[in-house]
Amino acid sequence: MEEVKKRPTLLQAFIPIVCLIILLTLNVLYFGDDTLSGANQIALLLSAAVAGVIAIRLKLKWTFIRAHVVKSIGSAMPAILILLLIGSLAGTWMLSGVVPVLIYYGLKIIHPSIFLFAAVVTSSIVSLATGSAWSTIATIGIALLGIGQALGLPTGMVAGAIISGAYFGDKMSPLSDTTNLAPAMAGTDLFTHIRYMMITTVPTMSITLIIFLVIGFTNNFGNNDTDVQAVLDQIGQTFNISPLLLIVPVLLIIVIIKKMPPLPAILFGTLLGAAFAIIFQPELIKLIGGPHGYLKRTYIAVMQSMFGSISVETGNQLVNDLLTTRGMAGMLDTIWLILAAMVFGGVMDSAGLLKRISEAIIQRAESTGSLIASTVVTSIFFNITASDQYIAIVVPGRMFAKTYRERGLKPEVLSRTLEDGGTVTSVLVPWNTCGATQSRVLGVSTLTYLPFCFFNIISPFMTILVAVLNYKIRRLDRNGENLTIREKEKQD
């Protein structure tokens, strides 16, 4: 049965948000870069408790609140399962030499001055082909980060370039789940949505590439050819370097393009990495597996790479850091964070607190520009409070669809705005499923890479700018056909 409850006030809706902001600020001040080890999780749970008290005061039953929390956690389970498998994939790809061989060849080919530019382009191409920013960052992204570290570039800057490219490809790929979800929520078709996104996405990506080119050619990050050669020598001594190892990422990309679901695709990549480790790295398996018989040491090494930490000691500390993975176990803090975030979002949703804030935003949107800006703000708001990019697309999509129609705007205007505001900003929130995952996968805190995610930062501003300028804002005429603002003015 539907619960009968009081309508929350705007003040009540904001109290848990303010509480969360205060606690997160204190965490940054007192814990520094170590906030993901538990401080942020507790902040989310305490804020959820505050929201729960408000929900009880609104006459909601505990069983109703709990049901929303369970539903919220359930929506995050696919992300959690993928995150666990990504930990295993990273381990077997390191043990097999797949990631080291990508780093090895990358260091030989890519010049430091254009590396950031190349990282954006490479991530874009892979993500466009696979439709998944997560898979791109967990595979090619890890290798690119290793190359950047070896070249002496700041890890936050390299991670920002990788994420910028990965989310461009994810946003523009017809294989992407969010790229299919946004037009479905707005009521338009997939390819109309993709073509219309180019108006804001192409300029944003162009600016991003120019920024990374300028950074690459105007900065000296203090590394030299001797340092790079030392890394190459250590990798060559530790691993059996062979171009045949590139078969593993190529096959994974192929199965993703063939639309194999993410979970079995990543499991396939994990097992393929384990098989290639047995074939190509017998000496490394002997080192990690210990002084046992062939079968026992092989089993121990492969299983250890999947669930736990493996590290290879060399004479170079940078190489040691590059050749360390933590498997599934390394993802547990992130999973804890996601669960805490889902609890917070679930309690807020049960009491209608998120909806109350969103309604207040819609009421103040009078012009087309302010309506689109309100949609962007609402999507970002849900990324912060509900901690899930799908919710940041679905809920605002449902909320704003009628308003867009009433104001004569085509559905692709809404679908593009949802992507520009919801999809790309999710990775910028430390406790969002996307931000928490990419931070853990790359080993770089969200606040460290955030200033360099130029594509993700510029995208929402670009869509607002285009709306304010009334540039190619598609409208409905009386016959339901597309009209831009300028065409409408000509007809008038």
Q: What's the rounded Cα separation, in Å, for the pair 46 and 19?
A: 8
Residue with tokens 């499923």: 433
What phi and psi, each to the nearest 5 degrees, are found at residue 476? -90, 130
pLDDT of residue 186: 84
Confidence check: pLDDT of 423 > 70 = yes
User: Which is nearest to 143 in space by CA: 96, 106, 115, 91?
Assistant: 106
Q: Max CA-CA distance within the chain?
A: 84
Residue with tokens 């087309």: 368
Q: What's the rounded Cα separation, in Å, for the pair 237 and 229?
A: 12
Residues 207, 210, 216, 217, Cα dihedral to 10°: -150
pLDDT of residue 221: 67
pTM assigned to the model: 0.77
- The answer to whether 283 and 273 have CB atoms below 8 angstroms apart is no
- The answer to whether 397 and 185 have CB atoms below 8 angstroms apart is yes
How does pLDDT run across 169-223, given as a tens digit for each residue? 989 988 787 888 888 878 888 888 989 999 999 999 999 999 999 999 888 765 5
Confidence check: pLDDT of 397 > 70 = yes
DSSP string, 346-407: HHHHHTTHHHHHHHHHHHT--SHHHHHHHHHHHHHHHHHHT--HHHHHHHHHHHHHHHHHHT
Mean pLDDT of the chain: 85
pLDDT band with cut points at 50, 70 and 90 for residue 225: low
pLDDT of residue 303: 94
Q: What does the pLDDT average to over 33-42?
A: 80
- The answer to whether 342 and 76 have CB atoms below 8 angstroms apart is yes
- Neighbouring C-alpha atoms within 13 Å toward the C-beta of 50: 19
Helices 282-289 and 62-96 meet at what angle, rounded to 10?
Answer: 120
Read off the tokens for 488. Answer: 């409408």
Counting residues of the chain whose pLDDT is more than 90, the rounded percentage is 35
- The answer to whether 394 and 177 have CB atoms below 8 angstroms apart is no
Confidence check: pLDDT of 4 > 80 = no
Residue with tokens 């931000």: 435
* Bridge partner list, 475: 409, 483
How many other C-beta atoms lie within 10 A of the C-beta of residue 15? 17
Collect all residues with Cβ–Cβ distance below 8 Å to 424 and sequence separation of at least 6.
Answer: 167, 171, 455, 456, 459, 460
Residue with tokens 């109350």: 356
Q: Specify the 3-state DSSP secondary structure of 483.
A: strand
Burial of 351 (0-12, 13-18, 19+ CB in 10 A): buried
Q: Which whole-number Å values give the CA distances from 357 to 216, 255, 354, 371, 473, in the listed order? A: 42, 42, 5, 15, 27
Q: What does the pLDDT average to over 413-427?
A: 93
Residue with tokens 């609104």: 58
Confidence check: pLDDT of 7 > 50 = yes
Residues 269, 275, 280, 282, Cα dihedral to 10°: 130
Q: What does the pLDDT average to over 415-442?
A: 91
pLDDT of residue 487: 47
Sign of torsion, CA 359 361 363 365? negative
- The answer to whether 411 and 401 have CB atoms below 8 angstroms apart is yes
Collect all residues with Cβ–Cβ distance below 8 Å to 177 and sequence separation of at least 6.
Answer: 131
How does pLDDT run across 329-366, given as a tens digit for each residue? 888 887 888 888 889 888 988 888 878 887 787 777 77
pLDDT of residue 491: 42
How does pLDDT run across 107-125, given as a tens digit for each residue? 787 888 899 999 999 999 8
Q: Where are the beta strands (DSSP E) in 113-177?
A: none
Q: What does the pLDDT average to over 416-439?
A: 91
How does pLDDT run across 294-323, given as a tens digit for each residue? 899 999 999 999 998 887 777 777 677 777
Q: Where are the beta strands (DSSP E) in 386-477?
A: 475-476
Counting residues of the chain whose pLDDT is more than 70, the rounded percentage is 93
pLDDT band with cut points at 50, 70 and 90 for residue 81: confident
User: Which is nearest to 265 in space by CA: 145, 77, 134?
Assistant: 134
